[in-house]
């Protein structure tokens, strides 16, 4: 229709150029080398990423735009040991070669200003269901949730997907077991002092980790929880009862650090030396914490030890939220992340996703990095492998300006694409 706004697909397709990571096949087909799928694409069809497609036997690829541009500390990329303290300018396009399950089971409790609500109930109460690949997205009306920092943020979307596969079962001390897909990220640390908090996939959590529960919330209304009801079916089990106070455990660790033997410490406390060695082992392996044990918090969070991480088969519906701002929420009383890059990575795959592309030149990106004092330029947000031709075009200009170039990728690469980007990429993070 005259005057009708172009679709996202039309906006993306108008910003393309013939790619370099492909080879022609018979009957007008071609093979793309940008990612490990090595898609064979017939004429008029798209690869699995949806943004590389075959037109007349030629592969057209994204070009000349960004969908995200952000200045961050390099540690957030996360490159913790590369140029620490420097700034990184991140850019991204649209599309991804993966569609990750990043969800919880429907009974997972989510913390809101009015109390605890199951994530399925949030989905059921939301409006405007929109079909997406493998599920539905709905749009909550004026729903706010508690974030990882204890503040409030709006939940703009709630997703329901069909999922069949393993579920990670996370059991933290005193808390109900939480079931989520293995790659869902939790905020956790192995440091009893609360330092070194990182986003850890559920399947990588161990009993040496502590999960975070916000200690205080940043709003005035009091939340009343019926703890007896929430924990009705929870049984706390301890393999070795502990008769020492937190202060006594602390004194054992401090005395040990000053070189006192377990025999001397045990005599002072009236304990067998073997028990003192047991206490030290528990603390050093993260099973007991004398500064932040079992809900006694340092700083802004409780540090709750993980008791076990197991896996179980699952088939059914799973759910997730998209939360504005922090892209985190409190699920099962623990701080977790949502997939903050879904808007860019799932463009053209899910109708609810996508942001308008913004035209830009490599010289403009490099000039912005220089004005911002960035030392590093990073291709990220969507999957950079599938937009490598454009990234390399930018990196050529960046290298001439003395910038360090980096990728934050899912790692689903081919030898061809790695050889292609090798002369220009100094830092490569599989994340």
Q: What is the pLDDT of residues 289-302, one digit of tens each?
A: 443 333 323 457 78
Integer Rg of the chain from CA: 25
CA gap 35, 38 in Å, rounded? 6
- State both tokens at 296: 């006694």
> Has residue 257 got a pLDDT over 50?
yes
> CB within 8 A of 81, min separation 6: which ones?
none
Rounded Cα gap, residues 52 and 17, in angstroms: 10
The predicted model gives 2-10 an average pLDDT of 66
Mean pLDDT of the chain: 81
* Residue 95 neighbours by CB distance under 10 Å: 27
**Residue 225 pLDDT grade (very low, low, confident, very high; cuts 50, 70, 90):** low
Nearest-10 crossing angle of helices 262-269, 273-284 = 110
The answer to whether the predicted template modeling score (pTM) of the entire model surpasses 0.75 is no
Predicted confidence band at 233 (pLDDT cuts at 50, 70, 90)?
A: low
Closest CA to 331 of 218, 198, 181, 195: 181
Using CA atoms in the order 67, 319, 139, 214, what is the torsion angle rounded to 10 degrees?
-80
Residues 6+ apart with CB under 8 A from 261: 273
Least confident of 13-17, 196-200, 389-393: 196-200
37-88: per-residue pLDDT in tens?
A: 899 999 999 888 888 999 999 999 999 988 878 888 888 777 778 888 899 9
Rounded to whole angstroms, the Cα distance separating 284 from 392 reads: 46
Q: Which of 256, 231, 273 is nearest to 116 (CA)?
A: 231
Contact 322, 159 (CB under 8 A): yes
Is residue 338 over pLDDT 80? no
pLDDT for residue 190 is more than 70? yes
The residues near 47 (Cβ < 8 Å, ≥ 6 apart) are: 32, 34, 37, 39, 41, 53, 97, 386
pLDDT at 365 over 90: yes
Give strand ranges (E) for 121-191.
127-132, 135-139, 144-146, 152-172, 178-180, 185-189
Q: Which of the listed ranges 100-114, 184-198, 275-289, 394-408 does the model predict with the highest average pLDDT?
A: 394-408
- Within 8 A by CB and 6+ apart from 110, the residues are 116, 117, 118, 119, 122, 145, 321, 329, 330, 331
């Amino acid at each position: 229709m005259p005057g009708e706004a172009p679709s996202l697909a039309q906006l993306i397709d108008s910003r393309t150029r013939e790619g370099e990571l492909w080879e022609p096949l018979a009957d007008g087909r071609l093979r793309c080398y940008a990612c490990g799928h090595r898609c064979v694409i017939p004429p008029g069809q798209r690869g699995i990423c949806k943004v590389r497609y075959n037109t007349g036997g030629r592969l057209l690829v994204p070009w000349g735009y960004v969908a995200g541009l952000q200045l961050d500390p390099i540690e957030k990329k996360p490159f913790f040991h590369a140029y620490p303290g420097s700034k990184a300018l991140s850019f991204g396009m649209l599309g991804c070669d993966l569609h990750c399950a990043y969800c919880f089971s429907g009974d997972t409790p989510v913390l809101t200003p009015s109390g605890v609500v199951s994530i399925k109930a949030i989905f059921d109460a939301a409006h405007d269901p929109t079909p997406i690949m493998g599920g539905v997205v709905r749009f909550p009306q004026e729903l706010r949730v508690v974030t990882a920092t204890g503040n409030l943020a709006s939940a703009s979307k709630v997703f329901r997907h069909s999922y069949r596969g393993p579920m990670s079962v996370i059991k933290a001390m005193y808390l109900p077991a939480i079931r989520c897909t293995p790659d869902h990220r939790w905020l956790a640390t192995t440091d009893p002092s609360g330092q070194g908090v990182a986003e850890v996939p559920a399947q990588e959590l161990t009993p040496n980790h502590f999960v975070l529960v916000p200690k205080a919330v940043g709003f005035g209304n009091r939340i009343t929880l019926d703890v007896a009801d929430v924990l009705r079916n929870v049984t706390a089990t301890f393999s070795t009862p502990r008769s020492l106070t937190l202060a006594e455990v602390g004194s054992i660790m401090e005395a040990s650090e000053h070189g006192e033997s377990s025999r001397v410490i045990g005599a002072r406390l009236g304990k067998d030396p073997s028990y003192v060695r047991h206490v030290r082992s528990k603390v050093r392996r993260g099973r007991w914490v004398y500064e932040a044990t079992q809900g006694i918090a340092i700083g802004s969070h409780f540090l709750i030890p993980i008791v076990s991480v197991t896996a179980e088969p699952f088939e059914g519906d799973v759910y997730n939220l998209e939360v504005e701002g922090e892209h985190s929420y409190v699920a099962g009383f623990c701080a977790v992340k949502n997939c903050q890059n879904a808007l860019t990575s799932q463009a053209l795959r899910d109708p609810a996703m996508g942001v308008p592309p913004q035209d830009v030149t490599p010289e403009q990106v490099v000039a912005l990095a220089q004005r911002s004092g960035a030392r590093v330029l990073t291709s990220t947000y969507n999957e950079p492998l599938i937009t490598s031709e454009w990234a390399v075009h930018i990196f050529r200009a960046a290298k001439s300006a003395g910038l360090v170039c980096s990728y934050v990728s899912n790692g689903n690469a081919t030898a061809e694409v790695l050889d292609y980007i090798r002369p220009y990429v100094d830092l490569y993070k599989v994340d």
